[in-house]
Structure 1
Amino acid sequence: MEQSSHPIKHKNVSIGKILKRALFIMFGAILVSVALEIFFVPNEIIDGGITGVSIIAAHVSGIPLGVFLFILNLPFLFIGYKQMGKTFALSTLFGVTVMSIGTVLLHSVPRLTDDPFLAAVFGGIILGIGVGIVLRYGGSLDGTEIVAVLLNRKSPFSVGEIVMFINLFILSSAGFVYGWNHAMYSLIAYYIAFKMIDLTIEGFQESKSVWIISEMYKDLGDAIVARLGRGVTYLQGEGGYSGEDKKVIFCIITRLEEAKLKTIVEELDPAAFLAVGNIHDVRGGQFKKKAIH
């Protein structure tokens, strides 16, 4: 393969960006420590992945949770370094270290509630936000995802399916250790944490892609620009059945603008074809949205 005479120059990451990443990863790891030691562990609730295994191991052995969190994640840190690079591995090592130390320091802090349902709900919220922050800034607090990526290459199952299978097995094991009521509370906590991770990563300003097919495309496009302040692009389409030329409106909006856009379409052309999809990342052009960082 012919090599370019102009090699790509990689920009060095500034000290400010490194410190910002480290502070947010530390903050996220501390939140996870709070969720584990103040809500989950005292109420016999576990999380999925290596964290769940660590909670069970600490309960059975009497050894501090932080020890298992650190030791059990070490092999996956090595794998993460090989598969995903030094930055990811160092960020994960930092996050896991902070989380492990945090659980040790918080172990003697009294629980906030004796109600396992409240512990599952609020612990799940706090844990999900913490994990989401760490993931958003390039780290991880659990080796399960790394295992799933490796298994995915040699199996017909997706990464998400593998993670779900592993976590269901771990969460089910809580039934034998703590009883089945606490296993069900653990499932509630896991579901809430899962949703909060998505919300934290994507934010309330999650982007949506919109396609509209209408004879009144110009009126709809003008209304979207005027009332939502969003740019639109007119695409040329052809009906597969009729063979007629059609104009397709394409635009990007935020989650909070979806209801207003549907109202605009309903007012101007109730018969219009409207499709809305989720988008995880938008860059370039004139699209602007608020971001966490």
Structure 2
Amino acid sequence: MTFKDIRKEIQSYVFLTIGLAIGTIGWAGFIIPSEIIGGGVTGIATVFHFATGMDVGLLAFVMNVALILISMKVIGAKFGVKTIYCIALFSIFLSIISIYVKEPLVSEKFMATVTGSILAGAGSGIVFLNGGSTGGSDIIALMINKYRNISLGRLLLYIDSVIISSSFFLFQSIETMIYGFVSMAILAYTVDMVISGNKQTVQFFIFSKKHEELRHHIIHVAKRGLTVLPGVGGYSGEEVKVLMVIARKSDSQVIFRLIKQIDPNAFITMGSVMGVYGQGFDTIKGR
């Protein structure tokens, strides 16, 4: 393993820890003290926490370990070091914060639901982006999926719905149950935004008389590849060169800055791209 690989691995564990800390604050600082039951194993642990008074972090850890052991027997799943690290650290953080935070960090229940769910979703998104997982209901879904032809997404929805619905029997409150479903929706949306926002891709078409200079700077300064397309002006009939650039959205400001410096009169179109597969982007996965 090279020094670069080691540095990258250390960096991923740093981000995993940050993501777990953010997610735990969302759960233990807002959602759980507000008596809101969310989805996943954390939701099940919260139910048992309020029913028995046991430590929620310990409950989450025991349930995740039990699920991993059962799944290894049922589906032979292999869990990496990062998953074990995330499950252990998430449970520790959950226990520590729960000791010191007995009341939600904001008094209004709706604000606690929204704030906690956004933090929990953002934390989960950071964890997923860095190759980690906190276990949870996806393990249950994988085991059921082995014997029943139901999509994983639908199974996760069913499992989380059952967990959240159980809060009605615990608190005898439809309002609390609805808060749980709101929390699940916000959390899932935030996870998607964190993951897709990191991978969001844009496509530029650049029409410029200084196309050669732009080509050089986009490749060597912005460090992005491009394709030079031949074109003909519909009105003028003149031959033109069009630069097509595919880049991460985070790189778009650098490209705009270069175009402004070299040819402020360039004609540019920019659009979002649903998916880009190949060198430097995503890999094609089997469906």
Compute the TM-score of the two structures, normalised by the length of structure 1: 0.68
Give the Cα–Cα distance (whole angstroms) in 2 for the partners of residues 120 and 113 of structure 1: 10
Give the Cα–Cα distance (whole angstroms) in 2 for the partners of residues 284 and 201 of structure 1: 17
Aligned structure 1 segments of 4 or more residues deviating by more than 6 angstroms: 10-13
Cα deviation 1:41-60 (Å, max 9, x = unaligned): 11111221111100000110
Match of 1:192 among 180, 186, 196: 186
* Counterpart position of 1:171: 164
SS at match of 1:121: helix
Cα deviation 1:214-250 (Å, max 9, x = unaligned): xxxxxx6747x87xx783587xxxxxxxxxxxxxx98
- Does structure 2 conserve the Cα–Cα contact (< 8 Å) formed by 1:221 and 1:232? no
Whether 2:16 is the aligned partner of 1:25: answer yes
- Does structure 1 conserve the Cα–Cα contact (< 8 Å) formed by 2:30 and 2:113? yes
Cα RMSD after superposing both structures: 3.8
- Does structure 1 conserve the Cα–Cα contact (< 8 Å) formed by 2:31 and 2:104? no
In the TM superposition, 1:102-117 aligns within 5 A as 102-107=93-98, 108-109=100-101, 110-117=103-110
Cα deviation 1:52-90 (Å, max 9, x = unaligned): 10000011000010111100000333436975535x2x2
Cα deviation 1:95-146 (Å, max 9, x = unaligned): 1211111122112224311211001100001000111111111111132112
Whether 2:43 is the aligned partner of 1:49: answer no
Paired positions, count = 241
Give the Cα–Cα distance (whole angstroms) in 1 for the partners of residues 72 and 193 of structure 2: 25
* Counterpart position of 1:180: 174
- Does structure 2 conserve the Cα–Cα contact (< 8 Å) formed by 1:51 and 1:142? no
- Does structure 1 conserve the Cα–Cα contact (< 8 Å) formed by 2:200 and 2:272? no
* Counterpart position of 2:137: 144
Runs (5+) with no aligned partner, structure 1: 1-9, 211-219, 235-248, 261-267, 269-274, 288-293
Shift of 1:174: 1.5
Change (3 A) 1:72 1:280: farther
Amino acid at match of 2:200: E
- Does structure 2 conserve the Cα–Cα contact (< 8 Å) formed by 1:209 and 1:278? no
Whether 2:113 is the aligned partner of 1:120: answer yes
* Counterpart position of 1:283: 279
Whether 2:62 is the aligned partner of 1:62: answer no
Change (3 A) 1:167 1:97: same
Give the fraction of aligned pairs with identical amino acids, expressed as a percent. Answer: 23
Amino acid at match of 2:180: S
Give the Cα–Cα distance (whole angstroms) in 2 for the partners of residues 251 and 77 of structure 1: 44
SS at match of 2:125: helix
Amino acid at match of 1:278: M
In the TM superposition, 1:1-293 aligns within 5 A as 14-78=5-69, 79=71, 83=76, 85-86=78-79, 88=80, 90-107=81-98, 108-109=100-101, 110-178=103-171, 179-203=173-197, 206-207=200-201, 222=207, 231-232=226-227, 252=246, 254=248, 278-279=274-275, 283-284=279-280
Compute the TM-score of the two structures, normalised by the length of structure 2: 0.69
Change (3 A) 1:281 1:134: farther
Amino acid at match of 1:118: M
SS at match of 2:127: helix
Give the Cα–Cα distance (whole angstroms) in 2 for the partners of residues 200 and 77 of structure 1: 26
